[in-house]
Amino acid sequence: MSTAQVVVLAGPSGAGKSRLAERLGFPVLRLDDFYKDGDDPSLPRISHGPNSGLVDWDHPESWHQEDALAALRELCATGLSEVPIYEIADNGRRGLRTVHLGGSDRFVAEGIFAPEVVAACREEGMLAAAYCITQHPLVTFWRRLTRDLREHRKPPMVLLLRGFALMRDQQRVVAHALRQGCRRATGDQAYAELTGQHSRAAGSP
């Protein structure tokens, strides 16, 4: 039986998953740290459009799902796990860090591939809740672009082209998360529910 449970935060890149995780104050497992290194020959490639030939970093096969699930299981069972540090700008892992729950009975797992772990977490009794965090596509586009430019994640033109492609793809991303068992919500809605503010407000006279 798990001693802790995970709150899974899915949603498009730039939708506010990391911001919500910070507001909640729970320990955080960054699922994007389980990306494959940029020189991994198994990385999927975009086959059409202006980004044809580039690595498809939004495809689940660009990510180590089993490694992520192993870390989730370890955190739920022991409250401690050593996980990779992935630098997007460098396309690779740059060391390790320790995630420690510090006695908390809940923690957050967030990332663009978060929907892929929901079913296993639910089946194994690890899941506290699963949300797909959404905003208007234009809001998500702008937040993602300004963040990625600020952090120098990729060359500006690559970020711009990728941003337009992701904006067009947002509806599909959200639909996939819902099929995998996530519930659609804004960051404010999920925060209110997870902190009990929604229940208190509903019960107020």
Residue 205 maps to a domain: no
42 found inside a domain:
yes
pTM of the model: 0.76
The per-residue pLDDT for 145 is: 65
Asked whether residue 159 is domain-assigned, the answer is yes
Q: Per-residue pLDDT for the chain (205 aa), expressed as one digit of tens each?
A: 458 999 999 988 777 888 898 999 999 999 989 998 888 888 778 888 777 778 777 788 889 999 999 999 999 999 999 999 998 777 788 899 999 999 999 999 998 899 999 999 999 999 999 999 887 666 666 676 677 677 777 787 776 766 666 667 667 888 899 999 999 999 889 999 999 854 433 343 4
Could you tell me the residue range of the domain that residue 133 belongs to?
A: 5-196
Domain harbouring 129, CATH code: 3.40.50.300
Which region, left, alpha or beta, applies to residue 11 given φ > 0 means left and ψ of -120 to 50 means alpha? left
Strands 127-133 and 183-185: parallel
> Is 64 inside a domain boundary?
yes
Query: What phi and psi, each to the nearest 5 degrees, are found at residue 55?
Result: -65, 135
The answer as to whether 201 is a domain residue is: no
Give the whole-angstrom CA distance, residue 147 versus residue 150.
5
Closest CA to 109 of 148, 171, 67, 167: 67
Give Cβ neighbours of residue 204 (< 8 Å, ≥ 6 apart): none
C-alpha span between 53 and 170 (Å, rounded): 21
